[in-house]
Amino acid sequence: MLIGKLDDLPRSILAHTPTPVDEMPNLAKFVEAERASGACRLYAKRDDCTGLGMGGNKIRQLEFYIGEAVARDADTILITGAVQSNFVRSAAAAARKAGMDCHIQLEERVANPSSQYRRSGNVLLDRILGATLHSFPEGENEAGADRALEDIAGGLRAKGRTPYIIHLGPGHPPLGALGYVVAAREIFGQINETDLNIHEIVVASGSGATHAGLLFGLRALGCDIPVKGICVRRAKDQQTPRIINRCQEVADMLDMDNPVRNEDIEINDDVLAPGYGKINDAVLHAIKAAAHCEGIILDPVYTGRTMAGFLSRARQAKAGQNLMFIHTGGQPAVFGYEDVLGPMLSSSL
């Protein structure tokens, strides 16, 4: 199934695909007890199982960044992100697989971090992968972080290296979203092959690359399944224009008309409070429910919050509907949040 220029763009295969679609019958039963009427079926698209460097959604996204880096003969990948960023850890692994070095800039976005937050989880993996770590003292200064990264690139060029910067901020083409256009094609194939009738897909909406790519890919294939984006970082009024822009940028990269209408963009921020990376009751409940019912591990920043949104949708869904949760990974972060999460686990589900 062709989608614009998708198959002509530079890409390095990094992810183990297709990732499985698992049914979650115990979780469905658990939710049924809380529902007004009738049964639903719940499914998880296991993109935590993309393999490389402990997996997750960023491995699919990196296929297009690394593809471009290879096309430009780069020898070093540069990236900036939060201290417990899954993206920078995945970039370090992808760089190694492509035979490159990696420089990571970690932004101090969390006030008074614990020693686990600073050293365990993704940070430990960054170090195992042998990435060079830099620190950026301001958390919410996207432009400043980008300039600091440019400075590191300049230093590398002066030494004769060829750096490739993975730019994630607005103003740069969201190449990573293309990984989720590919994922949309995979999901569309899986549900057709198995005659699975999915009525709604629920996905995390952070930078929006995953949400926009998935929605774009489905609509480009003529598939009308509603896609609900769950805000993990910004409120709905900021996230909506972001997704609109990202979809148009994907259309531009693929040299095709944008098949996504504004009314296709459905965003929910009911479980965002009190903010990015903060665990609320619904997130804690979702983490425990997925683990106790299905043995599925979720993280407190992204997938726990998205599962909280998914369970809320499952409680409202009509009898006989089938819902799909996109598991975007992030498990290494649980070790970085041990001090916060650990004490909350003693209460029962």
Ligand X SMILES: *Cc1c(COP(=O)(O)O)cnc(C)c1O
CA 196 to chain centre: 24
64 binds ligand X (CB under 6 A): no
> How many CB atoms sit inside 10 A of residue 296's CB?
21
How many residues are recorded in the chain? 349
Alpha carbon distances (Å) from 187 to 20, 180, 191, 282: 10, 10, 6, 28
Query: Which of residues 35 and 288 has its CB atom nearest to ligand X in the complex?
Result: 288
Distance between CA 247 and CA 258 in Å, rounded?
A: 7
User: Of 201, 210, 179, 229, nearest to 52 (Cα)?
Assistant: 179
Q: Name the residue type at position 142.
A: E
Asked if 56 is part of the footprint of ligand X (rule: CB under 6 A), the reply reads yes
Q: Which stretch binds ligand X (CB under 6 A): 28-36, 106-114, 251-259, 299-307?
A: 299-307
Check binding of 216 to ligand X (CB under 6 A).
no
Instruction: Looking at residues 141 to 180 of the shown chain, list those that interact with ligand X (rule: CB under 6 A).
Output: none
H helix or E strand, kind and range, residue 182: helix 175-193
From 197, 179, 116, select the one nearest 329 (Cα to Cα). 179
Q: To the nearest whole angstrom, how small is the minimum distance from the Cβ of residue 58 to ligand X?
A: 6
Told to check if 328 binds ligand X by CB under 6 A, we report yes
Q: Does residue 53 belong to the site contacting ligand X (CB under 6 A)?
A: no
Contact window for ligand X (CB under 6 A) among 8-16, 55-63, 114-122, 253-261: 55-63
Q: Rounded distance, CA 11 to CA 164, Å?
A: 15
Window contacting ligand X (CB under 6 A); options: 91-99, 258-266, 308-316, 328-336: 328-336
Q: Does 300 bind ligand X (CB under 6 A)?
A: no
**Nearest alpha carbon to residue 125 among 163, 87, 152:** 87
Site string for ligand X, 86-125 (x = CB under 6 A): xx--------------------------------------
Q: From the CB of 212, what's the least distance to ligand X, in Å?
A: 8
To ligand X, the closest distance from the beta carbon of 44 in angstroms equals 13
Contact present, 143 and 107 (Cβ < 8 Å): no
Cβ proximity to ligand X, 67 vs 121, nearer residue? 121
Please state, in angstroms and rounded to a whole number, the distance separating the CA atoms of residues 103 and 161: 12
| 3-state SS assignment for residue 59 | helix
**Cis check: omega of the bond before 274, within 30 degrees of 0:** yes
59 with 166: CB under 8 angstroms?
A: no
Binding ligand X by CB under 6 A: which of 190, 207, 239, 321? Answer: 207
80 is a site residue for ligand X (CB under 6 A) = no
Question: Quick one: which of 19, 116, 190, 210 contacts ligand X (CB under 6 A)?
Answer: 210
Does residue 204 belong to the site contacting ligand X (CB under 6 A)?
yes
Distance CA(227)–CA(90), nearest Å, equals: 25
Question: Going by DSSP bridges, is the β-strand pair 132-136/101-107 parallel, antiparallel, or unpaired?
Answer: parallel
Neighbours of 224 (CB within 10 A): 9
329 contributes a contact to ligand X by CB under 6 A: yes
Task: State which of residues 53, 259, 309, 330 lies at the interface with ligand X (CB under 6 A).
Answer: 330
- In the residue annotation, 85 being an active-site residue is answered as yes
336 is a contact residue toward ligand X (CB under 6 A) = no
Active-site hit among 12, 85, 347, 348: 85
Assess 84 for contact with ligand X (CB under 6 A): no
Query: Is residue 219 a contact residue for ligand X (CB under 6 A)?
Result: no
190 binds ligand X (CB under 6 A): no
- Interface contacts to ligand X, rule CB under 6 A: 56-58, 86-87, 204-211, 299, 302-303, 328-330
Q: Which residues are marked as active site? A: 85
